[in-house]
């Protein structure tokens, strides 16, 4: 039971940590990608 709880909190921490850096990075990549598309216009 305790192990399952530990696993759950560890997964939540992972999602939060990766989201914290991943979301801004993804936003930046999408901004750059939309600018880069001008090469093909």
Residue 20 within binding range of other proteins, rule CB under 8 A: yes
Nearer to other proteins, 1 or 20 (CB): 20
Q: Which of 1, 4, 5, 28 binds other proteins (CB under 8 A)?
A: 28
* Three-class secondary structure assignment of the chain: CHHHHHHHHHHHHHHHHHHHHHHHHHHHHHHHHHHHHHHHC
Residue ranges in contact with other proteins by CB under 8 A: 6, 10, 13-14, 17-18, 20-22, 24-25, 27-29, 31-33, 35-41
């Amino acid at each position: 039971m305790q192990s399952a709880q530990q696993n759950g909190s560890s997964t939540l921490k992972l999602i939060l940590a990766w989201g914290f850096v991943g979301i801004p990075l993804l936003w930046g990549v999408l901004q750059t990608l939309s600018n880069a598309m001008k090469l093909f216009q």
